[in-house]
Structure 1
Amino acid sequence: MTELLQLRGISKRFGPVVACDAVDLTVREGEVHGLLGENGAGKSTLMNVLLGLTQRDAGTIIHRGKTVHVGGPRNAIGLGFGMVHQQLSLVEPLTVWENVILGDRGRVDRAKACADVEAVAARYGLPVDPLSRVDRLSAGERQRVELIKCLRRDPSVLVLDEPTSLLTEAESAELFAVLRRVVRAERRAVILISHRLAEITAATDRVTVLRRGRVVHTGRTAETTPPELARWMVGREVAVEAEAAALGVLVAPAQAAATTTAAPVLRVRDLRVLVGGTPRLDGLSLDVAPGEILGLYGVEGNGQDVLGDVLAGLVTPDGGTVEVGGQPIDLTRPGALHLAGVGVVPEDRRTALVLDMTVAENLAMKAPMSAFPNRRRMRAAAGRLVEEYGIAVPSLDAPARALSGGNQQRLVLARELSAAPRVLVAAQPTQGLDVGAIGDVHRRFQRVADQGVGVLLISTALEEVLALASRVAVISSGRIAGILPAEEATGERLGLLVGGA
């Protein structure tokens, strides 16, 4: 196949940190090329150089045999480079079609824009209503809008950064099937950044692995396996059974669910939430026992995001009750759930942080005022958490927005678990994390469950749910369609429940 894009000797420093160290990457026409690496390995910096968001210190970019200069994002678009970033960049009060045409020049034609959205959505299997307001869409639907926004520009090289983290297994498979067909028929290329190694092995033709800013492996995907790729990523052997969820591999549950007669630490009854007159939660009920990890699994858009918002105190339901430790919670009272002992790791980690506040201030946010009588003690406590949870920070005084997405997630998790919750609600907790980080998060969930904390794990990643949960509840149309013990929760049975059977 002809070489469509070559990055030769790309280097970039940020002060003393070498983000990319003479990186070479070749992408051929008609291929899906995987790009792997732990958080901080240099993947994002390399792609930001390609997209004109970061200027390289050294190296050459060659497109279709010609050396090109990428002076900025608009220049990159003109060259045919497009990227769908992991962090969504939509304007929430606007509609889908308005977001899609942002940046266009000339007269705005609503009818044509809506038709464009529908055409791209149909072509790539990404259904979404162009007239819907973005702030009323689920996280998965918003990710579809980001994909449509980029695909509408018809790029010759498309970079996808964790594009399926909020899509279902079926949606992901359909997206990659279409992309493979299109890139081969139209001589395009896709660079896929994903931490789901099984997805990389299934969807890509070749793969490049970065570690600490350098290329440590490039080769045909068919000639490797997820454990081998993980070893290249982290520099050590990885056991499939122990880290199956991190590898994106389905395995049978390790053991049968333990039975318990203890009273639920979290009891949700007949929860109802209306959005624009439409029920998003429609009489949802579930229990979480002390020491249990209950997995809530389902297709995005069925109400799990709303449930997470209710349990975070962000949405007041139109009906129903929530009890923690047998005590009813006044859901109209700000902070009531936190005071009752509910910790929350939300789907969008940025909503749990004040991005312009420092790392230390964010870590202390939920501690009682008496815990830190002065700034010195607050910083000391923050330093201990940063070390314990392996949060990579420039300094404790750096703003939270300066951290990578994975380190922001670790920061939120450290703050919530250090508050000694009775209940932990974690929504898509490992989205965008690498193998090592996912394994660490899972071990912490299992550890707090062993200590008696009730964990509600909300995830669209089936392998994650099966790896951690003792019971699996399936949500469909805002209701619980069924609950299965882990040893009975096969992909087929869960798929039937997801479909409402």
Structure 2
Amino acid sequence: MLRLAGISKRYGPVVACDAVDLAVHQGEIHGLLGENGAGKSTLMKILLGLVQRDAGTILRGDEPVEIGSPQDAVALGIGMVHQHFSLIDPLTVWENVVLGDKGRVDRSLACAQVEEVAERYGLPVDPTARVDRLSAGERQRVELIKCLRRDPSVLILDEPTSVLTQAESAELFTVLRRVVRTENRAVILISHKLAEVTAATDRVTVLRRGRVVYESRTADTTAQELAKQMVGRDVSLKAEAAALGLLPVAVSPAEVTSDGVALRLRDLTVRYGGVTVLDRLSLDVGAGEIVGLYGVEGNGQATLGDLLSGLVVPDAGTVEVGGAPVDLTGAGALHKAGLGVVPEDRHRSGVVLDMSVAENLALKEDLGFFVSRRRMRAAAQRRAEEFNIVAPSMDAPVRSLSGGNQQRVVLARELSANPSVLVAAQPTHGLDVGAIEDMYVRLRKVAGSGVAVLLISTELEEVMALASRIAVISSGRIVGVLAVGEATAEKLGMLVGGVAA
């Protein structure tokens, strides 16, 4: 249905796509794998007309085509559901679905179309519901309906299950399989989860550093081989399973050396515009323990992270560090109490991109009125060596570092203050396999030194690999806490979906 031949794209000296060949067949789900920076996003942007290629040919069937704009892509039957939702929250479902249509809008006709597509593909949703009142799974359905209403013959899905429960993910792939098989469409599935790709796809292509390094029928390959092709080296699925999107081979409870509760959250409540984002959330984390806070995105985790960073003051509830209550209205009070934070979005609140590595590492230090740049660089160099931060120099802007090294800068700065509690929110988002595994090693080491670690993550494999206990968050409240030894994907999936495990 679609063939890319010799597609290349450069950004200055950086080669994002290097003579990429990709064939997408009718009636198949084609998996596209690769680490961050492998070229997947650039390739899809070229297909959607968002980026213009430097070289190569795109063929629709046997005919060469030009895709100069998103409108050209739609006209050719190419549609995409992006990783991050493109919905307008205050609008209704039907209003979001018709965005971009030309001419007069007929509300009754639009609602009827939404209902027809929803019934046809098994994606139930109320066309008159406001989007900001929908769950993450329902929003994903709206994105799919919005795309399927345009009747694409090639559907691109970018990390489609990142905000879905296990049951919603299974439902999504059931729908996709039906669409592909019964209507002879094609799907390109972009995912970093090997388990997802091996279970859902018919064919798989692996990109590494902008090049196609491997392609195969999915039935003819293995997760081990795909992992090796992704990272360019032999990998241990036992040691690196979680980093590759696979459940750990053997799960055993982490050894906890807790000698008391280091972090106590009690009845934390946050409301925005009449909507309760955190609902009497309570949780304890012991010294030397890693507790995983698990749930799909949009259930209050980001607000909790902001609260523990001192960016949000709760409407009710308390935070205690080391048994002492913290005045949450005081600037820097949580940091002074001994709490360090690796924030969810390192660019928004973790680093200052245009400041140097040395300056970022010193952000939380009391440097006094006069700052010795020599001493600041020397201290930064020591931390860079300890945390394996790779940078051209300590004076280089943090913007120039890779995602993994930026995250190491954040971790090094937070741990240099010798916290008794570390909050790590989505600590491996946007990192490649090597950087993910390095982060896992460091978090285990931190807990082993007696620091209480609260790991906030949407990755099931991550919390099961690292945590001794897993607390599940749904609609802003803790709905269950399981020891990792008794936690299973099924039990956690039921809790995330609001069903007692």
Scaled by the length of structure 1, the TM-score of the pair is 0.85
CA distance in 1, matches of 2:374, 2:79: 46
Q: Does 1:224 align with 2:221?
A: yes
Residue in structure 2 matched with residue 297 of structure 1 by the alignment: 294
Which secondary structure does the structure 2 equivalent of 1:475 belong to? strand
In the superposition, relative to structure 1, how do residues 399 and 479 fare at CA in structure 2: closer, same or farther (>3 Å)? closer
Residue in structure 1 matched with residue 443 of structure 2 by the alignment: 445
Q: Does 1:66 align with 2:63?
A: yes
CA distance in 1, matches of 2:126, 2:372: 50
Q: CA deviation at 1:85?
A: 3.2
Q: CA deviation at 1:225?
A: 1.4
Which region of structure 1 is more displaced relative to structure 2, 488-497 or 402-411? 402-411
In the superposition, relative to structure 1, how do residues 107 and 137 fare at CA in structure 2: closer, same or farther (>3 Å)? same
Q: Deviations over 1:260-315 (max 9, x none)?
A: 45222211012223345454433321111122110122355544344333223343
Q: CA deviation at 1:127?
A: 5.0
Which secondary structure does the structure 1 equivalent of 2:247 belong to? coil
Among 12, 25, 40, the residue aligned to 2:37 = 40
Residue in structure 1 matched with residue 320 of structure 2 by the alignment: 323
Q: Deviations over 1:2-22 (max 9, x none)?
A: xx1100011122222222221
Structure 1: gaps of 5 or more residues: none
Q: For the Cα contact (< 8 Å) 2:88–2:131, is it kept in 1? A: no
CA distance in 1, matches of 2:465, 2:379: 32
Alignment of 1:237-386 (within 5 A): 237-251=234-248, 254-352=251-349, 357-358=354-355, 360=357, 363-364=360-361, 366-368=363-365, 370=367, 373=371
Which region of structure 1 is more displaced relative to structure 2, 342-351 or 20-29? 342-351
Q: CA deviation at 1:336?
A: 2.7
The letter of the residue matching 1:250 is: L
CA distance in 2, matches of 1:394, 1:95: 51
The letter of the residue matching 2:317 is: G
CA distance in 1, matches of 2:139, 2:410: 23
The letter of the residue matching 2:58 is: I
Residue in structure 2 matched with residue 192 of structure 1 by the alignment: 189
The letter of the residue matching 1:500 is: A
Scaled by the length of structure 2, the TM-score of the pair is 0.85
Among 49, 52, 64, the residue aligned to 1:52 = 49
Among 423, 426, 429, the residue aligned to 1:425 = 423
In the superposition, relative to structure 1, how do residues 281 and 26 fare at CA in structure 2: closer, same or farther (>3 Å)? same
Q: Does 1:212 align with 2:174?
A: no
Which secondary structure does the structure 2 equivalent of 1:487 belong to? coil
CA distance in 2, matches of 1:188, 1:394: 51
Which secondary structure does the structure 2 equivalent of 1:246 belong to? helix
Which secondary structure does the structure 2 equivalent of 1:472 belong to? strand
Q: For the Cα contact (< 8 Å) 1:257–1:487, is it kept in 2? A: no
CA distance in 1, matches of 2:394, 2:432: 22
The letter of the residue matching 1:422 is: S
Q: Deviations over 1:446-493 (max 9, x none)?
A: 122223222112223322211110111223454333322221223344
Residue in structure 1 matched with residue 500 of structure 2 by the alignment: 500
Q: CA deviation at 1:187?
A: 2.0
Residue in structure 2 matched with residue 10 of structure 1 by the alignment: 7
Which region of structure 1 is more displaced relative to structure 2, 46-55 or 199-208? 46-55
Count of matched residue pairs: 496
Residue in structure 1 matched with residue 472 of structure 2 by the alignment: 474
Which secondary structure does the structure 1 equivalent of 2:485 belong to? helix
Q: Deviations over 1:219-238 (max 9, x none)?
A: 10111111110101111111
Alignment of 1:392-471 (within 5 A): 400=399, 413=411, 416-417=414-415, 420-471=418-469
CA distance in 2, matches of 1:404, 1:100: 37
Which secondary structure does the structure 2 equivalent of 1:287 belong to? strand
Which region of structure 1 is more displaced relative to structure 2, 119-128 or 55-64? 119-128
The letter of the residue matching 2:78 is: F
CA distance in 1, matches of 2:392, 2:122: 39
Q: CA deviation at 1:50?
A: 1.5
Q: CA deviation at 1:352?
A: 2.4
In the superposition, relative to structure 1, how do residues 182 and 471 fare at CA in structure 2: closer, same or farther (>3 Å)? same
Instruction: Calculate the aligned-residue CA RMSD, in Å.
Output: 3.6
Q: CA deviation at 1:326?
A: 2.1
Among 229, 233, 245, the residue aligned to 2:230 = 233
Residue in structure 1 matched with residue 72 of structure 2 by the alignment: 75
Which secondary structure does the structure 2 equivalent of 1:488 belong to? coil
Among 159, 162, 170, the residue aligned to 1:162 = 159
Q: For the Cα contact (< 8 Å) 1:165–1:432, is it kept in 2? A: no
Q: For the Cα contact (< 8 Å) 2:4–2:59, is it kept in 1? A: yes
Q: For the Cα contact (< 8 Å) 1:39–1:406, is it kept in 2? A: no
Larger radius of gyration between Structure 1 and Structure 2 = 2
In the superposition, relative to structure 1, how do residues 415 and 85 fare at CA in structure 2: closer, same or farther (>3 Å)? farther
Identity of aligned residues (%): 66
Which region of structure 1 is more displaced relative to structure 2, 107-116 or 152-161? 107-116
Q: CA deviation at 1:316?
A: 2.5
In the superposition, relative to structure 1, how do residues 353 and 100 fare at CA in structure 2: closer, same or farther (>3 Å)? farther
Q: For the Cα contact (< 8 Å) 1:347–1:429, is it kept in 2? A: yes
Structure 2: gaps of 5 or more residues: none
CA distance in 2, matches of 1:397, 1:322: 37
Which region of structure 1 is more displaced relative to structure 2, 20-29 or 372-381? 372-381
CA distance in 2, matches of 1:417, 1:166: 30
Which secondary structure does the structure 2 equivalent of 1:265 belong to? strand
Which region of structure 1 is more displaced relative to structure 2, 81-90 or 441-450? 81-90
Q: For the Cα contact (< 8 Å) 1:97–1:130, is it kept in 2? A: yes
Which secondary structure does the structure 2 equivalent of 1:185 belong to? helix
CA distance in 2, matches of 1:165, 1:434: 16
Which region of structure 1 is more displaced relative to structure 2, 250-259 or 202-211? 250-259
Q: For the Cα contact (< 8 Å) 1:354–1:362, is it kept in 2? A: no
In the superposition, relative to structure 1, how do residues 356 and 447 fare at CA in structure 2: closer, same or farther (>3 Å)? closer
Which region of structure 1 is more displaced relative to structure 2, 418-427 or 74-83? 418-427
CA distance in 2, matches of 1:72, 1:323: 54
Q: For the Cα contact (< 8 Å) 2:48–2:78, is it kept in 1? A: yes
Q: For the Cα contact (< 8 Å) 1:476–1:500, is it kept in 2? A: no
